[in-house]
Every structure is written in structure tokens, then in C-alpha cells.
């Protein structure tokens, strides 16, 4: 099938390459000429495992190309729109400037019978406002929210947990759902749940899923706060409640909390939208979820301060991680960098290392010192804080090896990922989050 993908960022570039990998003829379109040049050369403009391989294959096969020219969307049967929906600069709501512009730019190239499938995460009601522009071209608008996880984006796109397609009522909607089934034929053939809903439900499914995940993380972080006041251990608590299948262990990792280009802005946009709808109190708890999450970053800084007897000025502190999570170079709203910046603001000599995210981090926070090599970053440190759970730090760094590099013996485990007993046995002051 001929497909266009508008917006080739973390979502769109993967979507375009994945659609080509399952046999479609795909054109990816983005405003950013550098991104398009890199993608056209078969090179991923960001770190995402598995993306370089399918990009190269797609470009070499001739089934995948990229352009900045929107007119090349003409002739595609399905147009996926995956442009950004960041938080507004002056509030919590989503900034729909890019979505509105993308639809306006695409509209002249739509033909009767085309399907436009929104993939961006949008406030409920957005599809309804965009429907007239699509329908005036004789095309049909559906919403097909994306649930991919950065770091697993290729797998999640080709082989998702479920597919959700919001369609308008009537024959056009039914036909569009059938076309989307065809687009995702390999996943559908495998028996992947394919849920057809109305437009509003499909928009809500995405923000509800993110609200739930954020709430789960903040719940365990709230328990970490209580654990801190009582001498309890939140990691044991998480394990104990996680055995209950109704609760489940995943997303119960207490630590410095969530970040990234989705969860924080999505829960804020959801709360803002609910207020516009006069239902602010229904999701009022999301403000608390956000507040708990942000408090954990502050808490991590306090733990470092306390471990260094509140004297960090000029102390060398190695920050292990910059990306908002491992297997990604994404630093949008990264708790790791937030902690690094705060420590630096307190006068510490902060050295940040990360296997993939240094370039992005340096662009956003040039005031920090970056060292690519983990061991070089650790050399001479008075204290170390683990903030992104890369295997290089969590699994592969032994306390004995670290001892051969650092001056001090203080490690703050912002992700509760290290073996506390092993670090203590090696003579370190180990400080976890929500743990005695
Ligand atoms: P991103 O910032 O990485 O990518 C957005 C891209 O859209 C950019 O490359 C930008 O240049 C391009 N763009 C903006 N306006 C355009 C226009 N008019 N025409 C063509 N291209 C245009 O953002 P992202 O992380 O890919 O997220 C995109 C959307 O997908 C957001 O709504 C996000 O919430 C949602 N989403 C993201 C993820 C994720 O893990 N990144 C997962 C699910 C959903």
C-alpha cells in the first residue's frame, strides 16, 4: 500500500521504516532538512535500537524515501500524521500548532477516498476539529494512537500489544477501519487485538494509558516517601504488592521518577483538557502524580547533599546517565539531567556521562561537563549518582572497579537498580531511594 508519514521524529521515522519493512511503499515527510538528509541516507537521526537496520533496508529496497516536500504525499492511500504535540510554553495544555499546520499543509494533496490517520497524542476533541478539513477533500479522518516505547519502538510498531483505531460513524468509518487492518496485516494476522472505537475514545485511550502508567510510578514513589519517614524499604514493598496479579510488579520501580517526551506533558495536557471540559476534578489526582514525580528529583539531590554532609561546593559528582531512560538518547524532560543541573546549581563540579545522550544533553545544558567514557567520568569523583538505568551502570559496574577510580565512596542509587549489599560490602556508603 502507498503510505505517507508526516513528521519523522521518534514516532514518525520509526513508523515510516517499520511500514516499509512490512512491505508498504512509504514516503516520510518532515520540515527538518537535516533529519530528512540523514534518513534519506539510511541513517537514524537519533538512537533507537533496530532502527538503522530497517532504515537501510527500506531505503535500499526503494520502498522507503524521505522528503521535505509535502506535495509528495499525493497518491498515498493512507497518510499517518505523527508531528509533535509538546506542552505549551505558557501553560499545561498541549500545543497543537504543529498538528494544525501539518493538516493544513497536507490538505491540498489529499484525494477522494484517502485516509488520514492521526498518530500524535492529542487532547480529546482534536480529531473532531480536524475532520472538516479532511472531509472537504473527500478523505476520511481516523485516529490511530501510538503506544510505542522508545528503546523498543521498532518491535512495538511492527508487533504492538494492541491496535486502536478511532473512526467516524457510518460506512466511511468502517471502510477506513478495514484499510487500517490491511496496513497492519502482519500484526492482525498474528491475532493482535484490533480495537475499533469512535474518535473521542481513541484519543482518550492514549492519554488514559499514560495517565495510568504515570500514576503507578508516582504511587510507588509516594510509598517511597512514606518508607523514608518510617525506615521501611520500598523495594521490598513493591515486590510484595507486585506479586498480587491485580497489581503487578511492572512500573513499580521507586526512584527519581518518570520523564521523557510523553508522560509528563501528556498528564498535564490531560488535566488541562479535563478542566476545559468542566471535569477537572475527575483527573485532579494527576496534578498530585506530577508533584510527587517532581519531588523525587529534589529528593535525590537532598540524598547527595546529606551523603556529603551538605558540602557539595567544588565536590566532583559523577552523574551516571543523561537520557530519560536507558536504550534512548531522548533527554526531553529527563529527570537525570534535572538532577545534574540542580547539583551544578549548588556549586558541585558535575560530570555527566551517558552511552548515547551526551550530544543532545550538551545542546540543552552546555554548562555541564560531559565525559563519554564511563570510567573517565568516574575518575576522581567524590560521589556518584546513578540516574539512568543503562546496563553499563546498573549491571556492569562493580563496586570494586568503581573504587579503583573514585576518590570518595558515596553512591546514590536514583533508580534502586544496584545491589546495595555488594556496594556496602565494598566499603561504599550506598543510598537508595525509599530504602533505609
Ligand atoms: P518529535 O519531536 O521527535 O518529532 C516530531 C517531528 O514532526 C519533528 O521531526 C518535526 O520536525 C516534525 N514536524 C513538525 N511539524 C511538521 C509539519 N508541519 N510537517 C512535517 N513535519 C513536521 O516528536 P515524537 O516523539 O516523534 O512525538 C510525535 C507525537 O507522537 C507526539 O504527539 C507524541 O506525544 C506522540 N508519541 C510519541 C511517542 C514517543 O515515544 N516518542 C510515543 C507515542 C506517541
pLDDT in tens, the chain (436 residues): 999 999 999 999 999 999 999 999 999 999 999 999 999 999 999 999 999 999 999 999 999 999 999 999 999 999 999 999 999 999 999 999 999 999 999 999 999 999 999 999 999 999 999 999 999 999 999 999 999 999 999 999 999 999 999 999 999 999 999 999 999 999 999 999 999 999 999 999 999 999 999 999 999 999 999 999 999 999 999 999 999 999 999 999 999 999 999 999 999 999 999 999 999 999 999 999 999 999 999 999 999 999 999 999 999 999 999 999 999 999 999 999 999 999 999 999 999 999 999 999 999 999 999 999 999 999 999 999 999 999 999 999 999 999 999 999 999 999 999 999 999 999 999 999 999 9
Which grid cell is 94?
A: 498541549
Integer CA distances (angstroms), 365 to 224, 320, 323, 360, in order: 29, 16, 13, 9
CB 364 within 8 A of CB 337: yes
CATH number of the domain located at residue range(s) 198-436 in this protein: 3.40.50.720
Of the residues 167, 214, 262, 269, which is catalytic? 262
pLDDT at 436: 94
Collapsing DSSP to helix, strand or coil, 120 comes out as coil
pLDDT at 155: 98
Beta strands in 323-368 (DSSP E): 349-353
Probe target for ligand 1 pocket from 30, 32, 73, 101, with the most ligand atoms within 8 Å of CB: 30
> Ligand 1 within 6 A of 6 CB?
yes
> Ligand 1 within 6 A of 7 CB?
yes
Q: Which atom, in ligand 1's list, is nearest to the CA of 29?
A: 20
> Ligand 1 within 6 A of 101 CB?
yes
- Helix (H) or strand (E) run with residue 423 in it: helix 420-425
pLDDT at 5: 99
Under CATH, what is the fold of the domain 2-197? Rossmann fold (3.40.50)
DSSP-derived letter for residue 408 is S
> Ligand 1 within 6 A of 19 CB?
no
pLDDT at 101: 98
Q: Which atom, in ligand 1's list, is nearest to the CA of 149?
A: 40
Residue 262 annotated in active site: yes
**407 Cα: distance to centroid of ligand 1 (angstroms):** 43
- Helix (H) or strand (E) run with residue 153 in it: helix 153-158
Report the predicted TM-score, pTM, of the whole model to 2 decimal places.
Answer: 0.97
pLDDT at 405: 98
Place of cell 510554553: 89
Instruction: Name the residue ranges covered by the structural domains of the chain.
Output: 2-197, 198-436
Q: Measure CA of the first residue to CA of the last residue in the chain; give whole Å.
A: 57
Q: Which atom, in ligand 1's list, is nearest to the CA of 6?
A: 20
pLDDT at 163: 98
pLDDT at 65: 98
Long-range CB contacts (< 8 A, 24+ apart) of 309-315?
312/343, 312/346, 312/347, 312/348, 313/346, 313/347, 313/348, 314/347, 314/348, 314/349, 315/348, 315/349, 315/382, 315/383, 315/408
pLDDT at 29: 99
Which grid cell is 330?
A: 531522548
Phi, psi of 416 (to 5 degrees): 50, 40
Amino acid at each position: 500500500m502507498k503510505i505517507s508519514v508526516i513528521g519523522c521524529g521518534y514516532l514518525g521515522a520509526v513508523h515510516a521504516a517499520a511500514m516499509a519493512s512490512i512491505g508498504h511503499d512509504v514516503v516520510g515527510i518532515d520540515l527538518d532538512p537535516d533529519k530528512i538528509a540523514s534518513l534519506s541516507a539510511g541513517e537514524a537521526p537519533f538512537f533507537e535500537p533496530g532502527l538503522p537496520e530497517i532504515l537501510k533496508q527500506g531505503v535500499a529496497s526503494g520502498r522507503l524515501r524521505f522528503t521535505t516536500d509535502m506535495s509528495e504525499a499525493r497518491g498515498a492511500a493512507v497518510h499517518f500524521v505523527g508531528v509533535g504535540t509538546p506542552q505549551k510554553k505558557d501553560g499545561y495544555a498541549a500545543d497543537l500548532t504543529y498538528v494544525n499546520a501539518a493538516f493544513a499543509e497536507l490538505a491540498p494533496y489529499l484525494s477522494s477516498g484517502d485516509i488520514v490517520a492521526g498518530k500524535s497524542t492529542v487532547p480529546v476533541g482534536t480529531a473532531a476539529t480536524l475532520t472538516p478539513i479532511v472531509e472537504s477533500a473527500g478523505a476520511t479522518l481516523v485516529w490511530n494512537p501510538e503506544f510505542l516505547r522508545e528503546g523498543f519502538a521498532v518491535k512495538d510498531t511492527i508487533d504492538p500489544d494492541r491496535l486502536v483505531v478511532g473512526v467516524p460513524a457510518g460506512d466511511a468509518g468502517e471502510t477506513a477501519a478495514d484499510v487500517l487492518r490491511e496496513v497492519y496485516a502482519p500484526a492482525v494476522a498474528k491475532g493482535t487485538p484490533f480495537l475499533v472505537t469512535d474518535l473521542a475514545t481513541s484519543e482518550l485511550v492514549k492519554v488514559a494509558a499514560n495517565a495510568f502508567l504515570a500514576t503507578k510510578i508516582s504511587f510507588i514513589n509516594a510509598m517511597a516517601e512514606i518508607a523514608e519517614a518510617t525506615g521501611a524499604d520500598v523495594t521490598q514493598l513493591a515486590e510484595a504488592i507486585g506479586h498480587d496479579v491485580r497489581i503487578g510488579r511492572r512500573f513499580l520501580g521507586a526512584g527519581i521518577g518518570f520523564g521523557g517526551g510523553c508522560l509528563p506533558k501528556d498528564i498535564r495536557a490531560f488535566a488541562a483538557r479535563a478542566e476545559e471540559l468542566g471535569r477537572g476534578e475527575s483527573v485532579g489526582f494527576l496534578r498530585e502524580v506530577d508533584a510527587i514525580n517532581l519531588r523525587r528529583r529534589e529528593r535525590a539531590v537532598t540524598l547527595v547533599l546529606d551523603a556529603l554532609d551538605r558540602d557539595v561546593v567544588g565536590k566532583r559528582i559523577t552523574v551516571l546517565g543523561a537520557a530519560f531512560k536507558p536504550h534512548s538518547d531522548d533527554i526531553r524532560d529527563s529527570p537525570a539531567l534535572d538532577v545534574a543541573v540542580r547539583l551544578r546549581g549548588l556549586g558541585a563540579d558535575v560530570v555527566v556521562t551517558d552511552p548515547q545522550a551526551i550530544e543532545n544533553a550538551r545542546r540543552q545544558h552546555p554548562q555541564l561537563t560531559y565525559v563519554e567514557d564511563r570510567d573517565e567520568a568516574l575518575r576522581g569523583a567524590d560521589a556518584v549518582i546513578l540516574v539512568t538505568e543503562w546496563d553499563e551502570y546498573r549491571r556492569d559496574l562493580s563496586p570494586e572497579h568503581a573504587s579503583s577510580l573514585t576518590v570518595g565512596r558515596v553512591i546514590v542509587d536514583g533508580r534502586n537498580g544496584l545491589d546495595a549489599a555488594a556496594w556496602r560490602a565494598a566499603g561504599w556508603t550506598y543510598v537508595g531511594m525509599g530504602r533505609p
